[in-house]
Amino acid sequence: MTARNPRLGYVLVLVGAVLFGLNGGVSRVAMSTELTPEMFTSLRITGATVAFVLYAALFRRSALRRPVGTQLLLIIGLGLVGVVALQLTYNVAITRLPLGIALLIEYLAPVLVVLWVRFVRKEQVHPRMWLAVALAMVGLAVVSRVWNGLTFDGLGVVMALLAAVSFAAYFLIAEHNVGIDDPLRVILWAFIVAAVVMNLVQPVWESPGLGGTTSMLGRLDDVSAPPWLVLGWVVLLGTVAPFFLQMVALRHIPATIVTVVAMLEPVIANILGWAWFRESLTPVQVLGAVAVLAGIVMAQTARSTAPSVLPPQ
């Protein structure tokens, strides 16, 4: 039997959030080349799929066994909704809305997860969770400075809301899957599904060359790196590692908490924007970051239903 280890779960999701936050800056560098958002997404997902398959082939061949039955349907849903739809809808949202507003709408996901657990699964949720989510959302709004440029764009708002739904669905489906299957097998096959779909939308073999060098932008403007190396970071440390870490975290702490802890990502992205891209970071934003952290701490013990052990792998 595999015992739950909540402390390990928090470490995994925290490291995943940090890597996702750092990836925002690296992705900005990658997107400054000739790559379109669709091509960038296709290369990212396909590269991550190759990495997952190679790792499984070398170290855990059991993960290469194709899921069957209901498990296969759930993994297809995870790949379509939690990987492809999430990234595509978010990419559209940030091109039509201010980044802070797009992030705030996307991070309605923890609220959706709590609502699903409470009213669909009929699980008891500690009242503290509602306050934790509210505090984290207010803090995120402050960090993102949503009062700057409240430009309403219908399609952008719809895409951001769909990103929130996709984000919530990713954690809920993944939480169910990793409770009965190997997390590596779950994420590997979800990415295989996503890679097939993205290559139908935008084949990777049509991508422009990744030779030469590109500027690292911001305070690193005088530093250059090969585009393929930047993309390699995005694939391995910005996709493979954080997706897998958060998937494993779901074996130790529930989705209601993982989604709240994941709110650290935009906080880290804003700090990175200040440190790397010379974007402003005001004392009010720092207070917002503290509010997000306070919400995360409050969420730790907010879900009362959690099995003590998981079935054997």
Q: Would the CA dihedral through 35, 41, 42, 44 be positive or negative?
A: positive
**Which phi and psi angles does 215 have, rounded to 5°?**
-70, 145
Output the pLDDT for position 99: 64
Q: What is the C-alpha separation between 264 and 266, in angstroms, rounded?
A: 6
- Are the CB atoms for 67 and 75 separated by under 8 Å? yes
What is the pLDDT at residue 279? 75
DSSP labels for 117-173?
Answer: HHHTS---B-HHHHHHHHHHHHHHHHHHTTTS-----HHHHHHHHHHHHHHHHHHHH
- pLDDT attached to residue 44: 93
- The Cα 18–Cα 57 span in angstroms is 28
CA dihedral 180, 303, 8, 26 (to 10 degrees): 90
Distance CA 146, CA 46 (A): 34
pLDDT at 306: 44
What tokens were used for 148? 């700057």
pLDDT (0 to 100) of residue 2: 58
Q: Output the pLDDT for position 152.
A: 61
Give 124-172 pLDDT, tens digit per residue.
Answer: 777 888 888 888 888 878 877 777 765 567 788 889 889 989 999 998 9
Which residues, 6+ apart, have CB-to-CB distance to 107 below 8 Å? 137, 140, 164, 167, 263, 266
Q: Which residues contact 147 (CB under 8 A, 6 or more apart)?
A: none
Domain boundaries, the chain: 7-304
- pLDDT, residue 84, reads 93
What whole-number distance in Å separates Cα of residue 40 and Cα of residue 231? Answer: 9
Ranges of the chain whose pLDDT falls below 70 = 1-2, 98-100, 149-152, 300-313
Count other Cβ atoms within 10 Å, centred on residue 232: 17
Q: Are 25 and 72 in contact (CB under 8 A)?
A: no
Strands (E), the chain: 2-3, 214-215, 224-225, 309-310
Beta-bridge partners for 3: 309
**302 contacts 134 by C-beta, under 8 angstroms:** no
What number of residues does the chain have? 313
pLDDT tens-digit readout, 89-122: 887 887 777 666 777 778 788 888 888 888 888 8
pLDDT at position 151 is: 57
pLDDT for res 301: 56
- The pLDDT score that the predictor gives to residue 271 is 82
